[in-house]
Amino acid sequence: MTVAATTSRAPAQKYAGPALIPVDIGHATYAAVTDPDTAFWALVDKNRVAESLTGGPLLEAYGKEYDRLKRELHALRFELKPSGVYLNPTERCNLNCTYCYLPGEQRSGGSHMPQKTLVDSLGALHLFPFGDG
């Protein structure tokens, strides 16, 4: 699915709380509204996007949950220790698992991670404060 994000916030809002950004998701009836600060998103009728950005029950409800959602996302992004790290040095695969959802042409194509990116990634991982062990 192609999602074309708009780059501007809503026009002058009468609502004083956190703002939502409209995103055209290519659907005939619905558009998305989202806030990257909290990862909140909702689908709204395309005819009511402007209304959703300037007031109404959705924005009011979102405003009440904004602080909690922002704290949760900050904790997820910056306060958790990873339990595992996956590095994919290539997009290619020469296997043919029966459950694979990638088309064969896609598995045989794709690019390799540049060596510098791989080395830099391993260096960053080496410096990460994992703690004990």
Does residue 87 bind ligand SF4 (CB under 6 A)?
no
Binding mask 39-68 for ligand SF4 (x = CB under 6 A): ------------------------------
Closest alpha carbon to 50 in 18, 28, 19, 27: 19
Does residue 102 bind ligand SF4 (CB under 6 A)?
yes
* Cβ atoms 13, 29 nearer than 8 A: no
The sheet carrying 4-5 orders its strands as 4-5, 21-24, 30-35, 40-45
Look-up of token digits 């005819």: 47
Scanning 4-12, 38-46, 59-67, 93-101 for contacts with ligand SF4 by CB under 6 A, the matching segment is 93-101
Q: Which residues bind ligand SF4 (CB under 6 A)?
A: 93, 95-97, 100, 102, 107
